[in-house]
Amino acid sequence: MKSTIILLAAVASVYAQSQPYGQCGGVNWNGATSCTSGWTCQYSNPYYSQCLPGGNNNPGGGGNTVTVTVTSVTTNWVYSTVTDYETVTETTTEYEGSCTTTGNPEPSGCDATRTFDLLGVNEAGAEFGTAIPGTLGKDYTWPTFDSIDYFLGKGFNAFRIPILLERAAPPSGDLKDPGTYDQGYLSGLYQTISYITLNGGKAIIDVHNYGRYNGDFIDVEGFGNFWQALSQWTNFNENVIFDLMNEYHDMDNGLVFQLNQAGLSAIRSTGATNLILVQGNMWSGAWHWVDNNDMLKYLTDTANNMAFEMHQYLDSDGSGTDENCESETIGAERVESATRWCEDNGVKCFLGEFGAGPNDVCAAAVNGLLCALKSSDAWIGATWWAAGPWWPSTYFQSIEPPNGRAVDVYVPILESYL
């Protein structure tokens, strides 16, 4: 296969100096190459240098000189001149192995010797509603301990907890100022993650904001400040996992890269080494990942404890709004290219959301999906969408015990992969 680079389309800074955690250098970057006082422009890779705390201010990414030749280039630029290049050699291998769905338990062809590091559910509720800040019990809710106990008792160990950024950091204050954050809302988060981790589970804090804050794209510096503060406050054990942002969409890829790098760098600046989950553009869909998020392989994590989070639903448009699935094999088919990407780049990946209707076709498709994930060392696990106490009885993906519509069909299937 021909090697292809998709260059990072960076967002030019309107400031004379780049903001904290902002970009300050890289291929085709024409914005500021120095940082505000007390911040240093540090080189990450040929496509990205970032303003980080402390040190000398080296313009242009620490004085690194890159001379490159491109095997082939795919560009979709607002700029007309490219002066820096990188030699890239990529080898792709066809996905090997097949999973034949046979119903419940898991399909034949799965690797029986391999287990997921993380397998569990999303516990939705704290991100519900549009009222800001909203009232607990009226506009939003937290998962119940009974629900958490149910899944822990079955052997599941991962609980993804969506939160709403505007409730954690009300717009009436300042995202950049942790002193204005809502400690009442955050105390609900702390209680939830404390219960999960003290009882042996992994708590995934998911900022469920789609790349937006208060009706606009999130500010890079403010995003870094938020994660720096939150990771300091919640880094009481290694069982807390930081999920930077849920489902970026309809955004410039350069901004998605900058926000992810800001979150990574901000958390690592506190000394935290916890697992960080990074999502991509186009709703972080696994079936579109390679076409939209290839540039994220250049993200830098000083603790080397990062995984790329993707989502995948199995209805016709991949939105998860129709309880009918395309086919019994659609699950494995939709993660095939993403699996190759994870393997070819030597990175870890995680399926943060997946779900389907409680019917025979979808059950076979979900089995095939999980089998495909289990058959590759790249995938560290998955969490079903969704549990949570406020799902209506009609919601076809509800796995909230004891009576969610998906419980009887999908809890046994998920258990078979423990």
Query: Residue 215 is encoded by which pair of tokens?
Result: 């009706």
- The DSSP letter of residue 69 is -
Distance CA 69, CA 79 (A): 19
Contact (Cβ atoms closer than 8 angstroms) between residue 319 and residue 353: no
Helix (H/G/I), strand (E/B), else coil: 231: helix
Distance CA 316, CA 326 (A): 6
Distance CA 32, CA 12 (A): 8
Q: Cis ω on the peptide bond leading into residue 170 (within 30° of 0)?
A: no
Contact (Cβ atoms closer than 8 angstroms) between residue 11 and residue 255: yes
Tally of CA atoms within 13 A in the half-sphere of 278 that contains its CB: 28
Distance CA 45, CA 330 (A): 36
Contact (Cβ atoms closer than 8 angstroms) between residue 96 and residue 107: no
Please name which of 261, 182, 249 lies closest in space to residue 220, comparing C-alpha atoms: 261
- DSSP states of 328-362: TTHHHHHTHHHHHHHHHTT-EEEEEEEE--SSHHH
Q: Is 323 a catalytic residue?
A: no
Distances (CA, A) of 11 to 142, 227, 263, 393: 37, 21, 17, 45
List CB contacts of 149: < 8 A, sequence separation 6 or more.
Answer: 199
User: Which residue in 166, 247, 309, 328 is the catalytic one?
Assistant: 247
Q: Is 400 a catalytic residue?
A: no
CA-CA-CA-CA torsion for 181, 233, 251, 382, nearest 10 degrees?
-130
List CB contacts of 250: < 8 A, sequence separation 6 or more.
Answer: none
Distance CA 206, CA 165 (A): 10
The answer to whether the Cα torsion of 409, 410, 415, 417 is positive or negative is positive
* Active-site amino acid positions: 247, 353
